[in-house]
Structure 1
Amino acid sequence: MSGITTTQPVSPTRISGLILAGGRGTRMGGVDKGLQPLNGEPLALHVAKRIAPQVNGLFISANRNLDAYSALGAPFGARVVSDESGDFPGPLAGILAGLRATDAELMLCVPCDAPNLPIDLASQLVRALEGARADIATVVTRGPLGHSSLHPVFALLRTALAADLADTLARGEHKVRAWYARHMSVEVTFADEHAFYNANSLQELAELERAEPLRREP
């Protein structure tokens, strides 16, 4: 694995947040996933409410309905960024747009469809990243039977990785985990699987709304 690791600790106030909402929404029939309602509010708004208090500056990666996302992010001072290409190349392109847009040392990336993400996600990932002197910290959950699940788009990344990511995408490589594997990374285990549940279809979104009320926002 290559690394761009620094030995200097990074203050949590130097973290930007990035909500990934730039996909095609294929499994939702092509609708813009982040704008789908959950308990009367867009999914991405639920995510913004949970992530904004954890970071110093917020971005939303979107490739459609930019005005809607700008309005959604306005209360948080969020800036909308878009992929350089218009062919929906995947989450790495959204991550690159975020890395290039911020002047922070770290960026916390989360998907737009995980409304119950932990309110201490940033702090836990920062501790792991700095403790391991890593470039990327990602999330793993373990179920009651010990089954592990990876959640690669929940990640804390050093923004110094932007140039390498740009080169990777220019070569036509778009797999998130393959790019992570090229760098020093650390997996952080969370016991609460529900916190990372994301709605990939309209049916799953409806089931999420019926299952239980959303957790109290910070």
Structure 2
Amino acid sequence: MPEKQMDKATSSTATVILAGGRGRRLGGSDKALRILNADPLVQHCLRRLKDQEDVNGDSPIGPVALNSNCDARHYADFGLPIIADTIGADYGPLAGILAAMDWACDLGHAQVMTIAVDTPFFPKNLTARLVAERTDMPIAMAATVDAQGHVWPQPTFGLWATDLRNTLRDDLETGARKVITWARSQGVTSVQFKTGTQDPFFNINTPEDLALAQTILMQEQDRI
């Protein structure tokens, strides 16, 4: 754990969309660019970020970047900074989180939120709750609670103190790979969301998931 925690941002939170997965079960295509209802998944995530609930009357969302190791030219239409993993390939999602920390820290942010590009229905109060509930821990991580009361961590949806980056870099180099295991070693607050009739962290891994996401999206639009 870092010796001194940096102050939490009060006005906005830097955010990185993690899109480093190879999408093997979706035919090996770039997940960020997979089409859902005529738009790429990354566009759905950007809309969801735009819809995040305000904190004390202010938008909680600051600068947004996309973490991907693909050709940055593929994402030119989105106008986002594209940040590749800074430690090398094949380190898993922790490498994307490290890249997010490095990018946000370079911009002067004490914390950075990460979300997964294949999870387009994440809660609209995600940012507000992560910021509010991180308290004195360096990490706040989203989790779902099912009808039986079981808690399921959502490791790629977290708020991370950027001064953890050197610790994370060292730990990756010595074998750390599991996000939840590493987060617990540093100190993490679990921010719990009820699933209700729909899991807000439903993620798209297969063609069948993509078809189900289309149905969920249509149901959401019908409720508007």
TM over 0.5: yes
Local SS of the residue matching 2:168: helix
- Partners of 2:219 and 2:91 lie apart in 1 by 31
Unaligned 5+ runs, structure 2: 53-59
Q: 1:4: how far off?
A: 4.7
Question: Out of 60, 66, 76, which is 1:60 matched to?
Answer: 66
1:36 aligned residue: 34
In the alignment, is residue 100 of structure 1 matched against residue 98 of structure 2? no
Question: What is the deviation of 1:148?
Answer: 2.3
SS at match of 2:82: strand
SS of residue in 1 equivalent to 2:148: coil
1:51 correspondence with 2:56: no
The residue type paired with residue 19 of structure 2 is A
User: Is residue 82–residue 97 contact of structure 1 (8 Å, CA) maintained in 2?
Assistant: yes
Q: 1:191 to 1:172 in 2, by over 3 A?
A: same
TM-score, length of structure 2 as denominator length: 0.85
Unaligned runs of 5+ in 1: none
Partner of 1:6 in structure 2?
5
Q: Is the 8 A contact 2:7 2:110 kept in 1?
A: no
Change (3 A) 1:97 1:117: same
Distance in structure 1 (CA, Å) of the matches to 2:123 and 2:181: 26
| Partners of 2:2 and 2:163 within 8 A in 1 | no
For 1:95, the aligned partner's letter is I
Give the CA deviation at 1:12: 3.9
| Deviation sequence 1:146-202 (CA, Å, 0-9, x none) | 232221111000111111111111113211112102112100111135211111112
Tell me: CA distance 1:202–1:38, structure 2 relative to 1, closer, same or farther (3 Å): same
Provide the secondary structure at the position in 2 that maps to 1:195.
coil
Alpha-carbon shift at residue 34 of structure 1 (Å): 1.2
Contact 1:117-1:195 at 8 Å conserved across structures: yes
Instruction: Please give the alpha-carbon distance, in whole angstroms, between the structure 2 residues aligned to 1:5 and 1:46.
Output: 36
Rate the CA distance shift 1:66–1:153 in 2: closer, same or farther, 3 A. Answer: same
Distance 1:88 1:7, change over 3 A: closer
The residue aligned with 1:125 is 130
**8 Å CA contact retained: 2:87, 2:169:** no
Distance 1:8 1:19 in 2: 23
Alpha-carbon distance change, 123 to 12 in structure 1, aligned in 2, over 3 angstroms: farther
2: CA distance between counterparts of 1:34 and 1:166? 25
**Secondary structure at the counterpart of residue 198 of structure 1:** coil
Question: For 1:87-121, what per-residue CA distance to the aligned partner results, in whole angstroms no more than 9, with x for missing partners?
Answer: 33211111111111122111010000111111221
TM-superposed CA distance for 1:19, in Å, is 0.2
User: Which letter does structure 2 place at the counterpart of 1:135?
Assistant: P
Residue of structure 2 equivalent to 1:17: 15
Q: What amino acid does structure 2 have at the position aligned with 1:45?
A: Q
- What does residue 201 of structure 1 align with? 206
- Aligned residue pairs: how many? 208
How many Å separate the matches in 1 of 2:132 and 2:5?
14
Instruction: State the SS of the aligned residue for 1:119.
Output: coil
The alpha-carbon distance between structure 1 residues 135 and 4, as it changes in their structure 2 partners (threshold 3 A), is farther
How far residue 139 of structure 1 moved from its aligned partner, in angstroms, is 1.1
User: For the aligned residues, what is the CA RMSD?
Assistant: 2.0
Alignment match, 2:56: none
